[in-house]
Amino acid sequence: MKNISADDLETIRASMPVTLQGRVFVDSLVCGFPQLGILHQGRTFTAPSFDVTDPGGVDPIEFNLCPEEVRFIAATNDRLTTIYAAT
């Protein structure tokens, strides 16, 4: 399991839409490297796929997520994958 750096956490915090504060978390256990997840109705979803055609994909509308929030989560997870998955 790889831990996220303090700098990367600060970058996420500084760029996060205010509407996601308190709803997202960083998890390194599911993928073995840091990924954002979202808390929804008491359940956690790490590195969610927002493609509803994928098995296990989540519908952003059901999660009350706007397009900006979906883009932020997806882009952040892509960046974290690039940084941490290969190291």
Residue 34 corresponds to which tokens in the numbers above?
A: 């840091």
Per-residue confidence (pLDDT) for residue 55, from 0 to 100: 87
Q: What would the mean pLDDT of 31-46 be, rounded to a whole number?
A: 93
| Three-class secondary structure of residue 17 per DSSP | coil
Structural domains in the chain (count): 1
| pLDDT at residue 70, rounded to an integer | 96
- Please give the residue range of the domain that contains residue 71: 6-84
User: Is 44 inside any structural domain?
Assistant: yes
pLDDT in tens, 67-86: 999 999 999 999 999 999 97
CA distance 53 to 60: 12
Stretch among 25-29, 32-36, 55-59 having the lowest mean pLDDT: 55-59
Residue 1 in any domain: the answer is: no
- How many Å is the maximal CA-CA distance in the chain? 35
Give the start-end residues of each E strand in the chain.
Answer: 24-27, 35-40, 43-46
Does residue 28 belong to any structural domain of this protein?
yes
Domain presence at residue 40: yes
Any domain includes 29: yes
